[in-house]
Chains A and B, each alone.
Chain A
Amino acid sequence: MTAKLIIDGQEVGSRLFLGTGKFPDKSLIPQVIENSKAQVVTVALRRMNFEAQEENIINYIPDDCILMPNTSGARNAEEAVKIAKIARAAGCGDWVKIEVISDNKYLLPDNYETIKATEILVKEGFTVLPYMSPDLMVAKELEKVGAAAVMPLGAPIGTNRGLRTKELVRILIEEIEVPIIVDAGIGKPSDAAEAMELGAEAVLVNTAVATANDPVIIGEAFGQAVEAGHKAYLAGLGRTKKYASASSPLTGFLNEGAND
Chain B
Amino acid sequence: MSFYDKYLKWEDFDFAGYWKQLNDDDIEEILNQERLNTLDYLALLSPKAEKYLELMAQKAQKLTLKHFGKVVFLYTPLYLANYCVNQCLYCGFNVKENIERKKLNLSEIAKEAEAIANMGFRHILILTGESRKKTPVKYIKEAVELLTDYFDSIAIEIYPLEIDEYEELIAAGVDSLTIYQEVYNQEQYDRLHIAGPKRNYHFRLDAPERGCKAGMRAVNIGALLGLEDWRKEAFFTGIHAEYLQNNYLDVEVSLSVPRMRPHLGSFQPESKVEDENLVQILLASRLFLPRAGLNISTRERASLRDNLISLGITKMSANAKTSVGGYAESNTELDDDTCQFEISDNRTVNEVTTMLHKQGYQPVFKNWHIF
B368 within 8 A of A: yes
Asked if B66 contacts A207 (CB within 8 A), the reply is yes
A83 within 8 A of B: yes
Give the dominant DSSP class at B's interface.
Answer: loop
User: What residue of chain A has the Cβ atom nearest to residue B359's Cβ?
Assistant: A24
B103 within 8 A of A: no
Question: Once bound together, how far apart are the Cα atoms of A52 and B364, in whole Å?
Answer: 12
Known: A22-B70, A24-B360, A25-B357. A75 touches B367 (CB 8 A): no
B369 within 8 A of A: yes
B217 within 8 A of A: yes
Please choose the segment from A43-51, A138-146, A250-258 that sits at the chain B interface, where 4 or more of its residues have CB less than 8 A away: A43-51
Q: Which residues of A are found within 8 Å of B362, using beta-carbon distances? A: 23-26
Q: Which residues of B are found within 8 Å of A59, using beta-carbon distances? A: none
B59 within 8 A of A: no
Interchain CB contact (< 8 A) of A52 among B65, B70, B120: B120
A210 within 8 A of B: yes
B1 within 8 A of A: no
User: What residue of chain A has the Cβ atom nearest to residue B244's Cβ?
Assistant: A104
A234 within 8 A of B: no
The 8 A CB mask of A94-125 against B (1 = contact, 0 = none) is: 00000000111101000000000000000000
Interchain CB contact (< 8 A) of B71 among A22, A49, A105: A22
Interchain CB contact (< 8 A) of A47 among B245, B357, B366: B366
Question: Once bound together, how far apart are the Cα atoms of A47 and B245, in whole Å?
Answer: 23
B249 within 8 A of A: yes
Known: A48-B366, A105-B245. A25 touches B360 (CB 8 A): yes
Question: Once bound together, how far apart are the Cα atoms of A51 and B149, in whole Å?
Answer: 12
User: What residue of chain A has the Cβ atom nearest to residue B289's Cβ?
Assistant: A105
Asked if A46 contacts B66 (CB within 8 A), the reply is no
Asked if B365 contacts A55 (CB within 8 A), the reply is yes
Asked if B69 contacts A102 (CB within 8 A), the reply is no
Interchain CB contact (< 8 A) of A82 among B245, B366, B371: B371
Q: Which residues of A are found within 8 Å of B365, using beta-carbon distances? A: 49, 52, 55
Known: A21-B71, A49-B122, A49-B365. A104 touches B117 (CB 8 A): no
Interface centre among A47, A79, A160 (most CB of B within 10 A): A47
Asked if A104 contacts B367 (CB within 8 A), the reply is no
User: What is the number of residues of chain B that contact chain A, defined by CB distance less than 8 Å?
Assistant: 31
Q: Shortest distance in angstroms between A229's beta carbon and chain B's nearest beta carbon? A: 24
Q: Which residues of A are found within 8 Å of B367, using beta-carbon distances? A: 46-47, 73
B251 within 8 A of A: yes
Asked if B371 contacts A104 (CB within 8 A), the reply is no
Chain B 204-255 residues near chain A, CB threshold 8 A: 217, 245-246, 249-253
Asked if B69 contacts A207 (CB within 8 A), the reply is yes
Q: Which residues of A are found within 8 Å of B246, using beta-carbon distances? A: 105
User: What residue of chain A has the Cβ atom nearest to residue B175's Cβ?
Assistant: A73
Question: Once bound together, how far apart are the Cα atoms of A49 and B122, in whole Å?
Answer: 8
Interchain CB contact (< 8 A) of B250 among A25, A47, A49, A102: A102
Question: Once bound together, how far apart are the Cα atoms of A250 and B85, in whole Å?
Answer: 90
Interchain CB contact (< 8 A) of B66 among A25, A103, A211: A211
Q: Which residues of A are found within 8 Å of B71, using beta-carbon distances? A: 21-23
User: What residue of chain B has the Cβ atom nearest to residue A44's Cβ?
Assistant: B367
Q: Shortest distance in angstroms between B85's beta carbon and chain A's nearest beta carbon? A: 35
Asked if B366 contacts A159 (CB within 8 A), the reply is no
Question: Once bound together, how far apart are the Cα atoms of A250 and B217, in whole Å?
Answer: 64
User: What residue of chain A has the Cβ atom nearest to residue B366's Cβ?
Assistant: A49
Question: Once bound together, how far apart are the Cα atoms of A83 and B217, in whole Å?
Answer: 15
Q: Shortest distance in angstroms between A46's beta carbon and chain B's nearest beta carbon? A: 5
Question: Once bound together, how far apart are the Cα atoms of A83 and B291, in whole Å?
Answer: 23
A93 within 8 A of B: no
User: What residue of chain B has the Cβ atom nearest to residue A52's Cβ?
Assistant: B120
Q: Shortest distance in angstroms between B69's beta carbon and chain A's nearest beta carbon? A: 2
4 extra interface residue pairs, beta carbon distance < 8 Å, beyond A25-B360, A102-B250, A211-B69: A82-B371, A104-B251, A158-B67, A210-B69
Mark B residues whose CB is within 8 Å of A.
65-71, 117, 120, 122, 152, 217, 245-246, 249-253, 291, 357, 360-362, 364-369, 371
9 A-B pairs with the lowest CB-CB distances in the bound complex, closest first = A22-B69, A24-B70, A102-B250, A49-B366, A103-B249, A24-B360, A75-B250, A211-B65, A46-B369
Selected A-B contacts with CB under 8 Å, 13 pairs: A23-B362, A24-B361, A25-B362, A47-B367, A49-B365, A52-B120, A75-B217, A103-B249, A104-B249, A104-B291, A207-B66, A207-B69, A211-B69
